[in-house]
Amino acid sequence: MVGLTELPGLAKRCSALGSDSAFDLLAQVTQLRAEGRDIVSFGIGEPDFLTPEHIVTAAKRALDERQTRYGPSEGLPELRSAIAQEVSRTHGIPVQPNQVVVAPGAKPLIFYTMAALVNAGEEVVYPNPGFPTYESVIRWLGAKPVPMTFNEADGFGCDRGALERAVNPRTKLIILNSPNNPTGGMLSLGDLEFIAGLARRYNCWVLSDEIYAKLILQGAFASIASLPGMAERTIIMDGFSKSYAMTGWRLGYGVMHPELAPLLARAETNLESCTCTFTQLGGVAALSGPQDETERFVVELRERAREAVDALNTIPGIHCETPRGAFYVFPNVTGACARLGLKDADELAAALLHEAGVAVLPRSCFGTPLAGETEQYVRLSIATSLELIREGIDRIRRFVDRAAMLKE
């Protein structure tokens, strides 16, 4: 076969689109395991409980009834209505079904929202470190990514001073993700009021990625959409992957201004036609049925977070904040890198994978590191058993101690 360079060439925008490194790491772990290596994986952000039975039953029933045809791009009426009721209840704001757009996962809504709202050259403020898709899509659309940074000392809350400098009349959209992937931080009500003030002052849209809102480990969740005057300029984005262990079902939704919803649905018409119909009926069962498995998961996550943080904090050169939500811990490993003579967290993550048999994701997987950034971090997903958390962190400790001893 001739090489790609000898063929007519690719579009320039191909180089703008980054990857979601959790998927790259998953492939590497699978490959190493196939070669017989024993790997403890803290890589992929996926709950470790099974999709609850009543959700599976509802989807099976839909298949038995052959609910297998195209549906409306904006989502099935019964699911849009269940979502409108749920969001009205949880956010304390009136939401009508015509404000809801259902999609195959929350991820496509990041693209639809930005495609509908942001022109090339306009600025988008986004969490960095943050979910990698935000920066990828901003660049793909030719917009300008403006990072929103966090204060580690404050449990990864918003750095208000930096945010005030980042938002300006060219800002079209502010993306929030609370609880945050990868830091486990959460925006306080004060942070949200501050951000809402900026959004109103500069007349910006807000995309509030609330995919971890049901997984709160400390404190209480608040949404910017619940603040006065914010519902109309906010797109709430959520989904079923993380709260109901439905990552492979591909089901998410956005709640937005009723005149914006048809524009996002039109993007869906052109890209996917519609979201899988029997999956959507599983979604109705998820929202209307018992919530006990999600609640049990949260209780387990609190215990896992406590153990993981305590264990990591006993390793010299590692410091870890307790996460407030989601299922990640984000230890600062600057001291460990220095002890081992490693340049950065990328080198540490590679050494942990190949020499200690532990898969973690370095900070660079969560947006381009900022100029002058010196602190090093890795993300561990704690959506895995306590035994594996203990074993994996023990391997990290033994590796860091052994490698430091050899160096000294």
Q: Answer yes or no: are the C-beta atoms of 171 and 124 closer than 8 Å.
A: yes
Which residues inside 163-222 make contact with ligand PLP, applying CB under 6 A? 177, 181, 209, 211
**Cis peptide leading into residue 258 (ω within 30°):** no
DSSP-derived pairing of the beta strands 205-209 and 234-239: parallel
Size of the site for ligand PLP (CB under 6 A): 13
Stretch that binds ligand PLP, among 2-10, 101-109, 274-282, 291-299 (CB under 6 A): 101-109
Q: How far is the CB of 113 from ligand PLP (least distance, A)?
A: 12
**Residue 313: Cβ within 10 Å count:** 13
Binding flag, residue 107, ligand PLP (CB under 6 A): yes
Beta bridge partners of 294: none
* Dihedral of alpha carbons 305, 306, 309, 311, sign: negative
Stretch that binds ligand PLP, among 3-11, 102-110, 195-203, 395-403 (CB under 6 A): 102-110
DSSP-derived pairing of the beta strands 150-151 and 144-148: unpaired
Q: What are phi and psi for residue 125, nearest 5 degrees?
A: -90, 130
Q: How far is the CB of 100 from ligand PLP (least distance, A)?
A: 15
Q: How far is the CB of 220 from ligand PLP (least distance, A)?
A: 19
What is the x/- site pattern for ligand PLP, positions 122-161, by CB under 6 A? ---------x------------------------------
Interacting residue with ligand PLP among 40, 106, 166, 215 (CB under 6 A): 106
- Sequence length of the chain is 408
Q: Answer yes or no: are the C-beta atoms of 159 and 150 closer than 8 Å.
A: yes
Nearest to 380 by CA among 389, 390, 369: 389
Interacting residue with ligand PLP among 252, 254, 325, 367 (CB under 6 A): 252
Q: How far is the CB of 127 from ligand PLP (least distance, A)?
A: 9
Binding flag, residue 105, ligand PLP (CB under 6 A): yes
* Cα–chain center distance at 394: 27
Which residues inside 337-376 make contact with ligand PLP, applying CB under 6 A? none
Q: How far is the CB of 94 from ligand PLP (least distance, A)?
A: 25
Q: How far is the CB of 105 from ligand PLP (least distance, A)?
A: 3
Task: Give dist(CA 195, CA 160) in Å, integer.
Answer: 8
Place of tokens 């460990």: 336
Q: What are phi and psi for residue 235, nearest 5 degrees?
A: -105, 110
What is the x/- site pattern for ligand PLP, positions 61-100, by CB under 6 A? ----------------------------------------
Q: What are phi and psi for residue 127, nearest 5 degrees?
A: -70, 130
Nearest to 247 by CA among 50, 24, 70, 111: 50
Which residues inside 42-61 make contact with ligand PLP, applying CB under 6 A? 45
**Residue 316: Cβ within 10 Å count:** 12
Q: How far is the CB of 107 from ligand PLP (least distance, A)?
A: 3
Stretch that binds ligand PLP, among 24-32, 104-112, 344-352, 370-378 (CB under 6 A): 104-112
Q: How far is the CB of 232 from ligand PLP (least distance, A)?
A: 23
* Site residues, ligand PLP (CB under 6 A): 45, 105-107, 131, 177, 181, 209, 211, 239, 241, 247, 252
